[in-house]
Homo-oligomer: A and B are copies of this chain.
């Protein structure tokens, strides 16, 4: 409350879409009743101003305020370990609020040496536990991490081998892989620059360089159509008969750097500028 008895409005940042964002991460605790009355007054204020979406980013230390926000009509939008994002749509028309992240992204690394030996691992846990199956190193792409960088990192962590990104050979999309979320899995070809194996990963039971034909012949590969396809693609790549997507770093008009993955195996002068092509 202000000294004159009026309720203090929540401070909010305006966004480009006619909405506002309230960020609540004060080090001091906030009383739920005080928050509820500030929120109510703020919502009236934003409604009068013609605002659309109202976002509240609530640090986990203020978990005692979640209930007040929900009672005020907010719904959950997304959460990360240390905060919960709630949202409220003011207008009387359907909302155009952005959806939550829908996919997890993973990589599998196809790393082969000049003796046609594939870098493979056995995992301590997971679906292959105790099966004796040798598989490619795999792992999750972190938020903010490039797919090509994630592949290099995972191989280094699981096997100690240094690599360079070559191509994305294929990818698959699957659904309901973890709660309701979908999953994209990219098979990346990497060129090894070191060969000594030294795993730093407590999840890895064993690592080796394995003749690729032996890898493909594993019972599991034969029985799993998806794995069989991927193995065939890798063999074909090895024999010079396949082109995946390589990467190029591009700049958007806002100056953001972003990787574009595409088939660079054609001689059609993508790297040449329009001016050069016109001449």
Question: Is the CB of A193 closer than 8 A to any CB of chain B?
Answer: no
* Known contacts A96-B203, A266-B242; A252/B224 CB under 8 A: yes
Q: What is the number of residues of chain A that contact chain B, defined by CB distance less than 8 Å?
A: 86
Select from chain B the residue with minimum beta-carbon distance to A140: B99
Question: Is the CB of A75 closer than 8 A to any CB of chain B?
Answer: yes
A251 to chain B, nearest CB (A): 5
| Distance, CA A38 to CA B98, complexed state (A) | 37
| Distance, CA A200 to CA B228, complexed state (A) | 42
| Distance, CA A98 to CA B181, complexed state (A) | 12
Question: Is the CB of A80 closer than 8 A to any CB of chain B?
Answer: yes
Report yes or no: A251 in contact with B225, Cβ–Cβ below 8 A. yes
A236 to chain B, nearest CB (A): 5
Question: Is the CB of A115 closer than 8 A to any CB of chain B?
Answer: no
Report yes or no: B253 in contact with A233, Cβ–Cβ below 8 A. no
Question: Is the CB of A56 closer than 8 A to any CB of chain B?
Answer: no
Report yes or no: A180 in contact with B143, Cβ–Cβ below 8 A. yes
| Distance, CA A66 to CA B71, complexed state (A) | 13
Question: Is the CB of A184 closer than 8 A to any CB of chain B?
Answer: yes
Residues facing B in A136-160 (CB within 8 A) are 140-147
Interface residues, chain A, CB within 8 Å of chain B? Answer: 17, 60, 63-64, 66-67, 69-71, 75-85, 96, 98-105, 125, 140-147, 169-176, 178-182, 184, 203, 220, 222-226, 228-230, 232-233, 236, 241-245, 248, 250-253, 256, 258-263, 266, 268, 270, 274
